[in-house]
Structure formats: structure tokens, C-alpha cells
Structure 1
Amino acid sequence: LDTGNRPSAFAHIRAGVSAEGKLTAFDGQSWGTGGAGAGSNFPLPYLYQFPNRKRVHTDVYINAGQQRAMRAPGHPQGCFLTEILMDELADRVKIDPVEFRIRNAPPIAPNAQWIKYFQEGARRFGWEKRHPTGDPTPGPIKTGMGVSAHLWGGAGRGSTAHVDINPDGSVVVKCGTQDLGTGTRTIVTIVAAETLGVPMNAITTEIGDTQYPFSGGSGGSTTAASVSPAIRVTCTDALDQLFAKVAPTVGVQADDLVAEGGRIRGATDASKSLAWKDACKLLGTEPISVDGKWQDGLSGAGTSSVQFSEVTVDIETGIVRIKRILAMQDCGLIVDRLTAESQVYGGVIAAINFALYEDRLLDRVTGQMVNPNMEFYLLAGMSDVPQIDVVLNNMPERGVIGIGEPPTVSTASAIANAVRNATGATIRSLPLHPHKVLAAIEQQRAGGTD
């Protein structure tokens, strides 16, 4: 397709694990292509702690369209290769897959909450009802559960902003960022309104114009972490100037004033106050105009997440149906829960598509895509999207961290591991089309693979 594609990833992996369920070694040989002259660039091994590791990687260049920065570049590939391995190793040492991951996850830290999420997620999801690999229930419909984890950066910096507080009480916030449907306009408005203590409808947010103060592009889940601090700092500076104008009238020192509920009042004596609009009238004909920029301390970096999935597999047709998905995710300070949850929903649904449906087919000679249409390039329909439960961990002490990309990373791995739990067959490639599922089941019946 004209918009490019996610790079491919292929690997031969050998791994060691002790009888106590601790990873000991990783030896991987990997290949991947980003098309004509572009690398594949995926991390391997992913997330878990292998004390001894070796990887030899080869980029393969082909006469096909170049890769693009699809959501969470490189991470779904590295996650899938590692997480399939983790389930196989867990079975080898006869340890529950969640417990096995807990034993090998990085220590708990603000940006490393996997152990907590494995434990809480298992409880919420009903993991104790999971059966060992291979559903023994009679009949063609088999049920299975899977789990997977991921990480992401999400840091941002460098944005600038401009705020005008006008004598009529209106507020205009300008920033050269953009909203691609992720809710940037909403969080700009929320941060400004909360800082100034006025309702959101009092804020006019102007973004998406190169004439506005500089902000970065939308990528790497950096926008929220870059923009929110800039808006907060600039609004705070503007509010301090308004306090200086109001202080003589209300008889309170400027540094003892607060703005909330559409009023400016004394922090220790609430009776000394002015309505926001009355306070702004004191500006006369001169609005307050302030330029500001991102400052350290209001945003953070590093997110962690765990996802669980439950599926049914028809072992006669190879069709996989997802019953439900649970996503445990953090993103630092949650500015707007609705849009943050929406990002998780979108990421999970995108991953469902490349886990079960999407498949770019190329002509082996010309490199041209042979299914560039909505008839043969498959996407999930409404009935294919399962129940998705999102649990966000609000961590205000960490500041704002982006959430646009991480939720799409581990969904496919959790689904594939659930299919393995249902059928007893390991499927080591995506998408999980019926013919692949049936082939894996037949291979398992014939003796499986090492």
C-alpha cells in the first residue's frame, strides 16, 4: 500500500532455562526486511532477563515498498518472537506461564510494573481457570488463555506555547502541535482549564498551524509528554501575572492567591475573592500574553503493560475467535482517562487486525502487492472485535507519558499463546489464518516441532 508497511521479522532461537524456571541463555539468529534499502530494526530478546545472550542479525533488502513507522516500530515483532518462546519454555519446566514470567521479569520500578500487572491481571482475568496446554474438552471448539507483556518509552520534550488572557475573561492557548485523532486538542484544553481554574468552555485551543509556537511531530508517543508541560508552564506564568493585577483589589498577597471554580481567591481566606471575569476586567485594555516552553519534571518516560486474552479455536476449520482481552497499562499521570482508554482500545484493535487478518501478499518477481484492495486485504469487522477491558494505572508522580503506541505491542502475542493453550500447537508466525492453524495442529499430531 502507498502508506508503507511494518517490517518483517524472522528468527531461529535457542534458549536455556534452569529447573527452577530462571532463564539462563539466549542464542538468536534473525532476519528481516524493510523493503528496498531499509532495515527491519526489531529488539530481540524482548523485555525478559537473559543473563547470557547472543544475537546475529541480517537485514534483507527486497524490491518492495519501504517500511514505515507503523504503530510501535519494531516492538510487536520482538515481543511476538520472545513471548512465543516464553510459553514453550514454561511448558518445558512445567511452570505456569504467568509465574514463569514473574520469575524472569525485570525488578519492580516506576517504569517496570510487569510483576504487579501479571499478578493483578491474572486475578482480574480468572487465570486460575486456565487449563494446561491443549484443551481436553470433547468436540471441535477449544478454548485457551494467553498472556504477553511489553514496554515503550513515551517521553517527549521541546514544545512551546503561547497563552492570552483577555480582559473579557476569555483565554486563548496556541501551540504548533497537531491532533491526529489521539485527543491532543482535548488534553491541551484540559491542562489549560485546570491550571487557570476555569471551565473548559472558557478555553479556545488553537493548534495545527506553523504560525503557532513550535512543537514536535506526532510520533513515538511523545506528543502528550511534550505538549502538556508546555501548556502547564505557560498557563502558570500567565496566571501569576493575573494574580499580580488582582492582589491589590482583593487585599491578598499575589503568592497567596489560588484560581479554582471560576474564581480567584485567597488560599487562606476564601472570602477575599473575585469572579474570573471580574478579575480579568482589571486588565483594562491590555491582555496578558505569555510565551512558555516545556520544562523538566512534569513528564516522564517508560511504560509497562501486560495483556491477557481468551480465544476459541475450531480445530476442524482453523477459525480463531477472540472472546475477551484485558489490558493492564500505565502512562504516568492520566490527563484525560477517556482519551487514554481510547488509545488502548485502538491499539488493541489494530493488533487484532495484524494478528488474525492483515497479510500483505507480494509478487515474488516484481515485488508488487497483489492484494491491494479491501476484498483480499482482510480487516476485522465489528463482530470480530471482542470485549476489551482496560485497566489504567494512574501514576501522577511520574508526570505525563505518551500512550499512543504501547497498547498495540503485545496483543498478537497474547492471542497466539491463547491459541497454543487451546490447541496444543505452537504457531510461530502471523497472521493466524485458518490454514496456518490447521497446519500447526496437524504438525503437532504428527509429533510437533523442537
Structure 2
Amino acid sequence: MKHKDKVSICWLRRDLRLDDQAALYKACKAKYPVVLYFIFDTNILDELSDRADPRVTFIYQQVQQLNTQLLPFDSSVRVAFGTPETCWPELLQEFDVQAVYTNHDYEPYAAERDSALAEYLSSESIPFYTFKDQVIFEKKEITKADGLPYTVFTPYFRQWKNKLNDFFLKAYPSIKYLNNTYKKQWPIIQLEEIGFQTSTMEFPGTDFSGKLAAYEEKRDYPAADATSHLGLHLRFGTVSIRTAAKEAIDQKAEKWLSELAWRDFYMMIMWHFPQTVTQSFKPAYDRIKWINDPNDFQAWKEGRTGYPIVDAGMRQLAQTGYMHNRVRMITASFLTKHLLIDWRWGEAWFAEKLLDYELASNVGGWQWACGCGNDAAPYFRVFSPELQTKKFDPDHAYINHWVPEYQQKKHVQPIVEHAFARERILRVFKAALNQ
């Protein structure tokens, strides 16, 4: 019988970094050499329609970067391709696994996957340890006096800020213990081997040190490029949430800190109310009679609505995998309220295109714009694209960059008239909510 090395496994998912990484720190501080393990999960990859999806390229590049950082320790990431259900038994054939360490993931698929793995490992008498790592506060850490979750952000944020202290911001010095990683250089699977091509899309960097002061003043002006572009890195854990929060506090960037709290808030909502991934938080809104015109939806996706600010946002998304946050609200409101298209259609399109796509925040943002979420804008608040343009892109710098034909007066006619759309949405929503 072949001898198998005794090891611990640190399963990487949304935490692709070596420093200030909770599970990696706990694993490396324990008794056995640590194998860093990453699975290109076909349950997730098979859902992607673009074979050059830039997020897969980003993950691939990050794993390569981890391997470079692990070279001085004569270690590397063990990469697998398949479903967790098939990959884990194969790993247990290779090693005498003493324990598995990983960080919490709050999405419904992840919760099911981790629950199934915990059961399987238990049947093999292997302990499964999981840790909080991608949020500051999770699950039931911030609740009302009666122990129930907050469903309104403002009082949640008040308590979030009150509770925030050095204990919750303390970094895990995982990088100090990398000598405890398992000594082996594994070849990394090529992207082509998992059915993908390298994307040519550019990815934002992680240096946001000088950007947060500008964010406080100019965050609502899409032409100013005054946002941190850190969403992609928070999504895949290439930057620690604790580092981000400390940077916000150091730069006295209250508004940016509140954005991190919104992210925690939506993760907490999804954990307590997993049904909201596909259903409205306010169930009455699931009675709305959407029009769901496929031609209107196509025009919105392609930035051909005849509303300059909407079209600019949709084209920015298509070309860069990013859209300015103010414009995300405008385009989402336009789809649901001007075109009467189900928020789930828009949520799915953003899921396909956004580099920084996070299920909880995306669902939360779409339900907010539609009016059907917790703490949402009221249904009768209908963004006027013209007024939003006057306030936030008065010189048309953003619009002219992304939709140059508007300067040349060659643009398409609006696919729906604002006053008509507003009157229609009020009538349709009222009918559904008064049933």
C-alpha cells in the first residue's frame, strides 16, 4: 500500500491571497504541512456562456501569482478541475488528510456545497473548520435588540460602526507561517484545458490609497472616475476586507466605509433570507405583471434605448466589465420602471457581465432599484434619466466618451417616453400591490 503524507488542506475559494487570510493562518498554525487547494468548479463554470469570461482569466492569473509568491517556500497551489463531489475523493486518495480549513461563503450554492463536503469529510473522520474572512460582520453578529436581523440599512450601519474596533480589523499574519506549506511544485492546469480562452480585458489594480478622498466628493459623477474599482478584488479576496476597512478609516472616508457596510448588510440579508436570490423581499412585488419585451431588453443590453446616460452605462459594462455605481442605479431603474422588465432579467445580465459581480450585492441593488427589496427606494420613485444626467453628467463627458454618436446627433430615438413610462409603472405596480 502506497504511503500517503499526512497534511492539512486549505481550500481556497473567494480568498485568493496569502496575507491576512483566516483559514490559511489557522491551517498553517496547526500541526501538519498545508496543501493549498483550488478547484475550478464545473458546477460554476458550466453556467458561464462566454468561453473568454474575464473573471476566469482573473482567477487563473491570481492562482499563478500565488504560485510565484510560494516559490521561496518550495510550495504551490494544487489545482483541480471538476466538481467538488469528484475532486475531493481524488484528493483523499492522494493524501492522508488530517483536517480541512476554509472560509465562509454565504451564497446558497456555496452553503449547499460546504454542507455536503462537511458530511462527506465527517464520514471519513476528517474535521472541517470554517472561518469568517470576506466580511467584517456576518450572520447574527449585528442584530436588533430582539435578536432578529436588521432589514433597514441605516440602523444596521449605526450598530456596525459602533461595534467596529481593532479586534474586528486585526489582520491574520498568515504570511509569517508559509514555511508550513507542503513542499511541492505542481504544474498549473492551462486555461484551454478547462475549456476557456484568455480574456484581453484589463483588470484594475489593488492600490486605492489615494482614491478615497476623491470618492467622498465625486463618487456620484461617472466621468470623474473617483471610485476605488476594488469590487473585483473584494469579490475574489485578492484584497482583505480588513485592509479595505482600515484604509477607509485612516483616510476618513466615511462614505466609502459605508459601502463596505452595505456589502456586509446584503451578505447578511442573503444568509437570513436565501429566498431573495430569486424572489422579491416584499412578496407582493412578485405579483407585478411585467411586459418583458425581448426587443426592449436587447436594446437595453446593447445601449440602444435612446437615453444617453442609460446607453453610456450599458456600453461601459459591455466593454470593460464595470459600470459606475450611480449609473447602475439609473440603468436598473430604467429597465424595471421604464420598460417594465423583471428585475431578475437585469440581475442575470449584470451577473454575466460585471467583473465585480457579487450575488448578494447585485440582488440587493436590483431589488432596491425596483422597489421590491428590503430598505428599497419606493416604487413610485422613478429616476428621470434627463434629471440624473443634468445632476451627475452635466457636461456630457461620460456620455460623450461611451456614446459618441450623441454628440453627432446620430443617436436613436427613445424607445419609451418618460412621462408615459412613469404613469404606466405607477398604474401597474399599484394594481399588483393592492391585490
TM normalised by structure 2 equals: 0.21
Higher helix share: 2
Structure showing greater Rg: 1
TM normalised by structure 1 equals: 0.20
Higher strand share: 1
